[in-house]
Amino acid sequence: MKVLLKENYPKLGYVGDTIVVRPGYARNYLLPRGIAVEAGSRSAKQFAHVLSGVLVRRTKLKVEAETMASRMQSISLEFTLKVSEGGKSFGAITSRDIEAALKEKGYAVERRQIRLAEPLKNSGKFSVEVKLHAEVSAFVPVIIEAEKRAEKKEPSKKDAPKRRANKKKEQEEVTE
C-alpha cells in the first residue's frame, strides 16, 4: 500500500515521502495516528494539493530549524563539576542538564534531540550535537569547570583513645 508521510518518521522516511508499507501497518497504525495519508485514495488534484501543503510545511520547519541552529551555536553552556583532590569527579553532565540549561536560555528542545554518547564527566570544552530537524543539527559548546572539593578528614576510631587522653590532660590542667 502506498502512503504519503505527513510527519517525520525516522524508521520510514520524512515529510512528503511516498513509501510502500504493508496494508495492515498503514490501516492500523499510520493512518489512524495521522502520520500518513493513503496515496491512492484521492484524486490526483487533491493528492497534489496535500503534497504541496506538506512540502511547504517541510521547508518552513527546516528554515526555522536553521535559524534556531545559528542562534544556538552562538551561545555556550557552562557547568561546574565537583572534583576530589585525586581528580575523581562527583556526578556528570547529562542530556537532562543540557536540556534544562537550554530552556533557561530560551530554547525549547527535547532531551531526545540532544545527542550525547555518554555523560560528560571531565572538565574541559565539549561540542554537543542538538538535532533540530532531520537535515539540521546545531553544535552547542559546553564548558565544564572543575570545582575542587576539599576532602574533610574525619577522625577515625583509632584516634578515639588519643582524643580521650588529650581531653583528660586538658581537664587536669584547667583544674590545677
Q: Where does 12-170 show beta strands of DSSP type E? A: 18-20, 36-38, 77-83, 89-90, 114-115, 124-131, 137-148
With H, G, I as helix, E, B as strand and everything else as coil, classify residue 149.
coil
| CATH annotation of 2-63 | 3.40.5.10
pLDDT of residue 11: 79
Question: With a threshold of 0.75, does the pTM exceed it?
Answer: no
Residues of the chain with pLDDT under 70: 41-45, 47-48, 149-176
Per-domain residue ranges of the chain: 2-63, 77-148
CA angle 69, 58, 133 (to 5 degrees): 35
pLDDT of residue 107: 92
Looking only at the bridges linking them, the beta strands covering 2-5 and 36-38 are antiparallel
Q: Where does the chain show beta strands of DSSP type E? A: 2-5, 18-20, 36-38, 77-83, 89-90, 114-115, 124-131, 137-148
C-alpha to C-alpha distances, 105 to 36, 74, 108, 120, nearest whole angstrom: 35, 12, 9, 20
Distance separating alpha carbons of residues 61 and 117, to the nearest angstrom: 26
For 44-82, how does the pLDDT look when each residue is reduced to its tens digit (9 = 90+)? Answer: 467 668 778 878 888 999 999 999 999 998 999 999 998
Its CATH architecture, for the domain 77-148, is Roll (3.10)
